A = this chain, B = another copy of it.
Amino acid sequence: MPNALTRRLSEYTDLTDDDLARLAMLSAQPTRKVGARRDLIRQGDRPRSIYLILEGWGCHYRSLADGRRQIVDFAIPGDLCDLNVYILDRMDHSIAAVTDLKVAEIDREALLDLATNSPNITTALWCQELACKSINREWILNVGQRRARERIAHLFCEMFLRLETVGLTSGYSCDLPLTQNDIADATGLTPVHVNRTIKELREMELVMIRSRRLTILDMAGLQDIAQFSPDYLHLKRNARHSDAMRGGSTIAPPDDPGVAIAV
């Protein structure tokens, strides 16, 4: 089974066997484990290497002096955290582990080597970087213009699709290891209001959340509410997602047995 990074990058270009081998080596870099809720790196720190998420969820966040915190993106398996972090002197934001996290630490040389020897991968990495920027823009739109119900619906749509891209969904279900507090920090709402809003989505029979797992009961309805359109994710091959994303059927498959899908 291909790993998450491979699946992710092959959204952007065709990878040769040679490319695949190089990517496999990347994931085999020294790994680091970080416990849930701990910071991987903190605003102001001097970055040493680039992180590749192998297992678990992380989040990028920025906070204000008085404690207000904004999650600006989530990081899931296959995501590279700030590709070019080695150009910067200081981190301008923090990265935390949402769940227990396994990351590969890729040093500058390994990445440069990759860039010089595989133009395909370089292109794919650029695409990933651009797609990430596009996600940032969508989040500004989300928080700036959408209202509570739309915001949360949008977040669910986005994360489901991103997880699907790396093979971490089954049917209409995926892991969602976020507390309502996390969702609040990501959407600019309060935990209390997130709670009420999710309740609404539940009562509208759009989603079901149980033991840290999200099941989308009505994909078309959820996307509709969110005014979600997957273009901004730049998944060139999203034809592959047609069944789930077209949302033609509102019938969810029976709750899967919850088997964790290996990265």
User: Closest approach, in angstroms, between the C-beta of A119 and any C-beta of chain B?
Assistant: 12
A44 contacts across to B, CB distance below 8 A: 231
User: Closest approach, in angstroms, between the C-beta of A160 and any C-beta of chain B?
Assistant: 19
Q: Name the residue on B nearest A90 (C-beta).
A: B231
Instruction: Tell me the chain A residues, 47-93 only, with Cβ under 8 Å from chain B.
Output: 60, 62, 64-66, 68-70, 72-73, 82, 84, 87-90, 92-93
Given contacts A72-B137, A87-B123, A123-B87, contact A188 B143 (CB under 8 A): yes
A129 contacts across to B, CB distance below 8 A: 84
User: Closest approach, in angstroms, between the C-beta of A228 and any C-beta of chain B?
Assistant: 10
A249 contacts across to B, CB distance below 8 A: none
Given contacts A87-B126, A130-B84, contact A68 B136 (CB under 8 A): no
Given contacts A65-B227, A130-B84, A144-B70, contact A136 B138 (CB under 8 A): no
Q: Point out which of A84, A145, A227 has the most chain B C-beta atoms below 10 A from its C-beta.
A: A145
User: Closest approach, in angstroms, between the C-beta of A194 and any C-beta of chain B?
Assistant: 13
Within 8 Å of chain B (Cβ to Cβ): is A172? no
CA distance A174 to B195 in the complex (A): 44
Q: Is the interface of A mostly helix, strand, loop or mixed?
A: mixed
Pair B72/A140 contact, Cβ less than 8 Å: yes
Contact check: which of B65, B137, B145, B231 meets A188 at CB < 8 Å?
B145
Given contacts A140-B139, A188-B144, contact A130 B88 (CB under 8 A): yes
Query: For the complex formed by this chain, how many copies does it contain in all?
Result: 2
Instruction: Tell me the chain A residues, 223-245 only, with Cβ under 8 Å from chain B.
Output: 227, 231-232, 234, 236
Q: Name the residue on B nearest A67 (C-beta).
A: B145
Contact-residue size bin, chain A (C-beta under 8 Å from the other chain): 35 or more
Pair B234/A88 contact, Cβ less than 8 Å: yes
14 contacts between A and B (CB under 8 A): A44-B231, A60-B137, A62-B137, A64-B145, A72-B141, A88-B127, A89-B234, A89-B236, A90-B231, A93-B137, A133-B133, A136-B140, A139-B140, A145-B188
- Given A44-B231, A70-B141, A132-B133, output 18 extra A-B contacts at Cβ < 8 Å: A60-B137, A62-B140, A64-B145, A64-B227, A65-B227, A68-B145, A70-B140, A70-B144, A72-B140, A82-B130, A89-B234, A89-B236, A92-B134, A92-B137, A92-B234, A93-B134, A133-B133, A144-B187
